[in-house]
Amino acid sequence: MTADPVASLARSLRGPRRVKRRMLREASEGLTDAVEAHRAVGLDDDAARARAVAEFGPVPAVRPAFQDELDRALARRAATVGLCLFPLVTLFWNVAWECSPYPTWPAPSAQFVVAFAASLPALAASLAAAVALAATYRLRPRGTWQLLYRRAHTATVLGTAAFCVAVSTLPATNPKALLWPPTTLTTLTAAVLALLAVTACRSSARRAGC
Amino acid sequence: MRADGLRGHLDGLVLAVLEHEPLHGYGVIQALATRSDGTLDVPAGTVYPALYRLESAGLVTSSWDATSGRRRRLYRLTRTGRRSLARERSDWRELAHAVDSVLGERAT
């Protein structure tokens, strides 16, 4: 019985599930097509399967091609999250601080400085994420382009951390301010972003064997 | 030709076999083997990620096809894909000419 290369790939690949499932399904369909084609020219089941698996290539040789696409999909996801950071910080700033029915404005100078300082790395992360996102659409990213999209996770994590710091200045000014629905929503979004960024980073670190 | 010699050219090769007709994943693999008279030894497993990459980049598009009784993805070239193929061809001609002028035998 010939081993199933698609099952081996499914066990060893790491990355976004939807992309992994899509590529492996294609590979599995192709393998079935290959077996049928070899049967049609007279090979028995075992020989047809063995030839199809040989044509597929050894798992260690084809795995990097699949993993590269998963890495790219992961970078695209992290960069998209990062790209949302600055508009969210701006929204948070305007809505939560200036429109809240709970008195938070004018903000005490310490909180103002912290929130303003934290929005700068969030802006930088958003810009880096936009460029990283563009890099993932290049067919063969090399040099700086490759470096950019391989660092998309780092930029997003740093940006998200900065955003969380900016958000935390609000309850530090007036804990009740978090109870206003628009502020609650912004804060929850920040938490989800932070979670996504950390998950993407953990997945990336696991892949790198860290 | 071995797979490592093809590194960097697989995307162009896949675009080329899709130029005149839409194909399934395995159809692409068969077309690569047929059009090169079996010379291009591309591991079939590397073609599926390449198709995904080309689709993500907007160079090919896919739709479901069930004409053979089983639902499979049918890939076709987009307009952007045709432009990219033209660029790949021109880059390849340039490279082939340069390599040939160095590596090719010279009449002395």
Q: How far is A98 from chain B (nearest CA, A)?
A: 41
pLDDT digits (tens, 9 = 90+) for A182-203: 778 877 877 777 777 666 665 5
- Reported as a single tens digit per residue, the pLDDT across A126-183 is 888 888 888 777 776 666 776 776 777 777 778 778 877 877 777 777 777 778 887 7
Residue B17 region by backbone torsions, left for phi larger than 0, else alpha for psi between -120 and 50, else beta: alpha
pLDDT by residue (tens digit) across A41-88?
999 999 999 999 999 999 999 999 999 899 888 888 878 877 877 777
Chain A hits for B49, CB-CB cut-off 8 Å, are: 23, 65-66, 68-69
Per the confidence metrics, is the pTM higher than 0.90? no
CB within 8 Å: B57 and A139: yes
ipTM: 0.86
Q: Is B51 in Cβ contact with A69 (below 8 Å)? A: no
Contact A66 B51 (CB under 8 A): no
